[in-house]
DNA sequence: GACCAGGTATTGC
DNA sequence: GCAATACATGGT
């Protein structure tokens, strides 16, 4: 795996605990392990079954890419922009908490929040690294504690999730065994989990490759780049297609400049009708 | 100093 | 069912 491949997979917005170092290597915490991975040692790292699983080495991505590129020229452009994206097999609990926090935040802010959460409640792993807190650890937190970390209205969502996990009402093993629609329904019973967060948990935490998280970027991209298409059109690899489209869109905001102008025009008009009067 | 961000729950029509 | 709105905050 070359450095471009690491950049694609770890920098495409699917994970929040990896950082790119000045020399092009990446450092991250997964479970209770810390890994510094570079193009030079990647092959050796995935000799270890744990990391092979995490990087999803058993999936033939080249084959899937081929099918995608033949399906739609716009999708082919997104694939060619960052072809080496792989869908990591992340921990579902961590994915749930991370994407509960992600609401109305940009990725740098999400990374900051997750970092503060781990420092406050996770187990130390040495060298200034902390594990993602387990449900029992997070269950000790009160809403005000989490608000103090800057989580805002998302604080109660984490409290509720931790409580449900500890009490056994939230069981990822049970959800993993369900068909997609039912798994999604099970997750959306949790406070603060709507269709987007549920699909993120399914795709990134339970590796359901047909889950298709639809956020602001994906909604924009679907309207502009894939008019008339919907998630199901992308088939069993819709989740991977979604990741290609998400990353491509975020790196090409100019594609949506017209829509942004429209939004600003509407905002301005709304303001002129209701000037601030304190 | 706006603008915007990997949304969700609630409310009102 | 669907649009509007509140919810909190910080990165750029």
Beta strands at A33-37 and A129-130: parallel, antiparallel or unpaired? unpaired
Nearest alpha-carbon partner for A27 in A43, A50, A12, A10: A10
Pick from A20, A17, A192: which is nearest to A94 by CA?
A17
Which of the nucleotides in strand C have any atom less than 7 Å away from a protein CB atom?
A: 7-12
Confidence of residue A21 (pLDDT cuts 50, 70, 90): very high
> Would you state the pLDDT for residue A259?
87
User: Stated in angstroms, how far is A112 CA from B2 C1'?
Assistant: 22
Residues 121-150 of A, Cβ under 7 A from nucleic strand C: 147, 150
Query: Is residue A278 pLDDT above 50, yes or no?
Result: no
Q: Above 80 in pLDDT, residue A276?
A: no
Q: Which residue has the tokens 């109660």?
A: A156
What digits encode the pLDDT tens for the residues A208-266? 999 999 999 999 999 999 999 999 999 999 999 999 999 999 999 999 998 888 888 77
The gap between the terminal CA atoms of chain A, to the nearest Å, is 58
pLDDT score for A255: 96
Whether the CB of A12 is less than 7 Å away from nucleic strand B comes out as yes
Tell me, yes or no, if A196 is annotated catalytic: yes
A109 C-beta less than 7 Å away from strand C? yes
The reply to whether A39 Cβ lies less than 7 angstroms from strand C is no
Is there contact between A22 and strand C, defined as CB under 7 Å from any strand atom?
no
- Chain segment A146-203, per-residue pLDDT in tens: 999 999 999 999 999 999 999 999 999 999 999 999 999 999 999 999 999 999 999 9
Distance CA A240, CA A224 (A): 19
Sign of CA dihedral A47, A53, A54, A56: positive
Shortest CA to C1' contact from A105: nucleotide: B5
pLDDT band at A268 (very low <50, low <70, confident <90, very high): confident
Distance A163 CA to C4 C1' (A): 32
Cβ–Cβ < 8 Å for A114, A130: no
Q: Which residues of A189-224 are buried (b: 16+ CB within 10 A; e: fewer)?
A: ebebbeebbbbbbbbbbbbbbbbbbbbebbebbbee
For chain A, the average pLDDT equals: 95
d(CA A111, C1' B5) / Å: 13
Residue A119: pLDDT above 70? yes
């Amino acid at each position: 795996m070359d450095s471009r491949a690491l950049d694609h997979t770890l920098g495409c917005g699917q994970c929040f605990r990896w950082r790119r170092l000045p020399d092009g290597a990446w450092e991250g915490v997964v479970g209770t392990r810390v890994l510094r991975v570079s193009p030079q040692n990647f092959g050796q790292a995935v000799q270890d079954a744990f990391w092979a699983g995490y990087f999803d080495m058993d999936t033939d991505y080249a084959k899937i890419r081929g099918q995608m590129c033949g399906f739609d020229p716009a999708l082919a452009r997104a694939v060619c922009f960052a072809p080496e994206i792989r869908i990591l097999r992340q921990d579902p609990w961590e994915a749930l908490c991370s994407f509960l926090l992600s609401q109305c935040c940009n990725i740098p802010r999400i990374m900051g929040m997750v970092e503060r959460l781990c420092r406050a409640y996770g187990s130390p792993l040495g060298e200034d690294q902390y594990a993602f807190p387990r449900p029992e650890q997070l269950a000790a937190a009160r809403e005000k504690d989490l608000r103090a970390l800057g989580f805002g209205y998302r604080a109660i969502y984490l409290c509720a999730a931790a409580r449900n996990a500890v009490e056994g009402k939230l069981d990822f093993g049970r959800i993993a065994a369900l068909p997609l629609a039912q798994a999604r329904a099970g997750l959306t019973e949790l406070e603060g989990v709507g269709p987007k967060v549920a699909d993120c948990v399914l795709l990134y935490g339970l590796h359901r490759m047909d889950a298709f998280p639809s956020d602001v970027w994906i909604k924009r991209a679907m309207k502009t780049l894939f008019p008339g298409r919907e998630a199901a059109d992308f088939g069993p690899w819709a989740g991977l297609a979604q990741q290609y489209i998400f990353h491509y869109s975020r790196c090409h905001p100019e594609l949506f400049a017209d829509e942004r102008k429209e939004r600003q025009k509407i905002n301005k008009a709304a303001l002129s009708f209701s000037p601030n009067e304190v």
